[in-house]
Amino acid sequence: MIYPIVKYGQDLLEKVSEPVAEFNGNLEKLVADMFDTMYAANGVGLAAPQIGISKRLAVIDVSNGQDAKAKLVLANPVVLSTEGNELREEEGCLSLPDFRANTTRPERVTVRFQDIGGTELTRTGQGLLARAFCHEIDHLNGILFIHHLSALKRDSIKRKVRRMMRAGEW
């Protein structure tokens, strides 16, 4: 099933998500649906709040479906450490379609999470994977990439979204 993406402006996106407590067939189905939804939207990551589910769950695939081994399921993820230079690169979000901005993220990120079966794992990502880790874990904490922008840039995006809402385009 492909879920509709929750767009910026809905309260759920700015709330801290609840931990995943049950690792069962329902979770497996949800994860499969999240991957389908992410691929349909041409994303490299998707957090459960982006489909209206307040759970600490995200999926990531920086290979865009080209490498099955690149598919990651992150339940209850936590950033353990960041390393390297802060990299400023263009970033976007499926919940803010058509908006992109240069966002600063660490070069390397180590995260601890549970996989689809509940096994605790640690993984270090670099480059795009590090960016995806930060972006998706931020979602689970009620933070969007625009919260990392200057107040001027953030307010500009918020004004454009409000105009689009009033015009029925959002």
What is the pLDDT at residue 85? 87
For residue 84, give its domain range: 11-166
Q: What is the CATH number of the domain that holds 56?
A: 3.90.45.10
Tell me, yes or no, whether 73 lies in a domain.
Answer: yes
Tell me, yes or no, whether 5 lies in a domain.
Answer: no
Q: Which residues contact 93 (CB under 8 A, 6 or more apart)?
A: 8, 99, 135, 144, 145, 146
Tell me, yes or no, whether 87 lies in a domain.
Answer: yes
Q: How many CA atoms lie within 13 A of 145 on its CB side?
A: 24
For residue 7, the one-letter residue type is K
As a residue count, the chain comes to 170
Tell me, yes or no, whether 3 lies in a domain.
Answer: no
Taking only the tens of pLDDT, the chain with its 170 residues reads: 999 999 999 999 999 999 999 999 999 999 999 999 999 999 999 999 999 999 999 999 999 889 999 999 999 999 999 998 899 999 999 999 989 999 999 999 999 999 999 999 999 999 999 999 999 999 999 999 999 999 999 999 999 999 999 999 99
Tell me, yes or no, whether 95 lies in a domain.
Answer: yes
Q: Domain count of the chain? A: 1
What is the pLDDT at residue 64? 87
Tell me, yes or no, whether 30 lies in a domain.
Answer: yes
Q: What is the pTM of this model?
A: 0.95
- 136 labelled catalytic: yes
Tell me, yes or no, whether 37 lies in a domain.
Answer: yes
Tell me, yes or no, whether 152 lies in a domain.
Answer: yes
Count CB neighbours of 9 within 10 A: 15
Mark out the alpha helices in 85-127 (DSSP H runs).
Answer: none
**Apex 127 CA angle, 118 and 57, nearest 5:** 25
Q: Which two tokens stand for residue 53?
A: 């589910």
Catalytic residue among 22, 107, 136, 169: 136
